[in-house]
A and B are shown apart, each in its own frame.
Chain A
């Protein structure tokens, strides 16, 4: 019988202890962020979708159309379009398509790229209702950045 009352007492005490903790937390500052109105700066290593690096010297991309990114990609989401142009050594990049719907941001393309022509962007606000919005032409995107 004594054990019965002891159980009731210790049980009620555990509830009081728990409630006092939640009470304390109630007066603490909120830890959440009101997202659409406030947002965080992404860390330098954050992996957004890939983009072409703008070369500081030439003011354009460094891609040599070797196609190693295309080959390394596990999901086949990169298409590099290069063509021969007169008077230019090697191929010239005319289009760099990224199908971001398939990309898993593993970074194989970036590791495979010898001239370091691609990098991760910091974009993360990418909501859309249309699939086509995630098919990027990265060359066009680079030109628009100018």
Chain B
């Protein structure tokens, strides 16, 4: 016990959560000042898995930086791939063939489903239910197999290239994806019966961990956290990119502001992802998957560029400053979970420890992305 805790109040004590704790999903350390079971102050401590991704972007060529994008948020790596290649395409003025855009959207949305499924399993695991994790992994495994057949990797994808995709998808991938969607549609009621309507889960989540829209604005929280607070903001709708404007989908928004609202947003998003994929597969045109004129060595015009995409955890933005050379002068990655985590200190004040862990789970943290 530190001297600080003793001097304030004899009943207060400091508790260290992590950096190696199963409930934090990675090397996140939270310094908790406790009053019995209640949290007085929770201070997240970062930096245990800092790998200097931004600096790496400044000393390797634009193309060489591609594999780094799969290592930030390893659960939805394709969203990050997409954000980066779209930024460089914007900088260098590269046109992308339409088929490649459709392939990008199909694979990214598949990746989003797999990310939400893993979150679903891990979140319920945090709350003490082990079985749903295994069911979710069963479905997620199907997505990994589909994506492995296309990209060659199972987790840290590096599939998109400036001006298109690494290779074309085969027809059996498209039919396999449709078959998977049919399977997942039939499994969703099972998930809802098993977990969503479960009385224990409802009691643990409803009204617990309130995050107001005002707090989200203050800390810059995005993604399902923001949409669970009643704000209708999705980069795919608000700042459309790729072929999203041509696709009809809804943005699930819940106004309850509690952990259950964030849970419901993600579960509804899985349904919406399936809708997007079905429409994209129905519309996918024939044609090349790589632009014809892509310069070997990309040297964008000097300037300051920013691009943002909707990753599984919120809006992911990249700012790149180019000085006309073949590598970036400055690379800045705006990761969604960093902002989502920063509201934790304020949101968890006065909560029970077990509820605060449910709140942390509902934020869907991926630590390598926070630390970068």
Contacts and interface: CB of A to CB of B under 8 A. Distances in A.
B and A form one assembly = yes
Interface of A: 10-12, 14-15, 17-18, 21-22, 25, 31, 43-47, 72-74, 104-108, 120
A19 to B, nearest CB: 9
Contacts of B302: none
A45 B198 contact: no
Interface string B44-71: 0000000000000000100111111011
A45 to B, nearest CB: 4
25 contacts: A12-B199, A14-B197, A14-B199, A15-B198, A17-B193, A17-B194, A18-B193, A18-B194, A18-B195, A18-B198, A25-B135, A43-B149, A45-B151, A46-B148, A46-B152, A47-B153, A74-B60, A74-B65, A74-B68, A104-B71, A104-B156, A107-B158, A108-B63, A108-B66, A108-B67
A12 B70 CA distance: 44
Contact of A31 (B138, B151, B193): B138
Given A15-B198, A21-B190, A31 B141 contact: yes
Contacts of B141: 31
B152 A21 contact: no
Contact of B66 (A44, A73, A106, A120): A106
B197 A107 contact: no
A15 B199 contact: yes
A-B CB proximity, top 9 nearest? A11-B199, A106-B67, A74-B64, A47-B152, A45-B152, A104-B67, A43-B149, A106-B158, A14-B199
Interface residues of B, number: 32
Interface in B154-188: 156, 158, 166-167
Main secondary structure of the interface of B (DSSP, over half): helix
Given A15-B199, A106-B158, 19 more contacts: A14-B199, A17-B194, A18-B193, A22-B131, A31-B138, A45-B148, A45-B152, A47-B152, A72-B63, A72-B64, A74-B64, A74-B66, A104-B67, A104-B158, A105-B158, A106-B67, A107-B166, A108-B64, A108-B67
B103 to A, nearest CB: 14
Given A22-B131, A47-B152, A74 B193 contact: no
B150 interface: yes
Contacts of A10: 199
Contacts of B153: 47, 105
A55 B101 CA distance: 35
Nearest to B193: A17
B148 A21 contact: no
Contact of A17 (B65, B135, B151, B197): B197
Nearest to B69: A106
A72 B65 CA distance: 11
A44 B152 CA distance: 8
Nearest to A20: B193
A105 B166 CA distance: 13
Nearest to A103: B67
A104 B152 CA distance: 12
B160 to A, nearest CB: 12
Interface centre among A11, A106, A108 (most CB of B within 10 A): A106
Contacts of B158: 104-107
A27 to B, nearest CB: 15
Contacts of B148: 43, 45-46
A21 B64 contact: no
A74 B199 CA distance: 51
A106 B148 CA distance: 14
Interface in B304-327: none
A45 B60 contact: no
B156 A21 contact: no
Given A45-B150, A45-B151, A47-B153, A22 B64 contact: no
A72 B148 CA distance: 24
Nearest to A8: B199
A76 to B, nearest CB: 10
A111 to B, nearest CB: 8
B194 A45 contact: no
B194 A22 contact: yes
Contacts of B195: 18
Contacts of A22: 131, 194
Contacts of A44: 149
Nearest to B199: A11
Contacts of A21: 190, 193-194
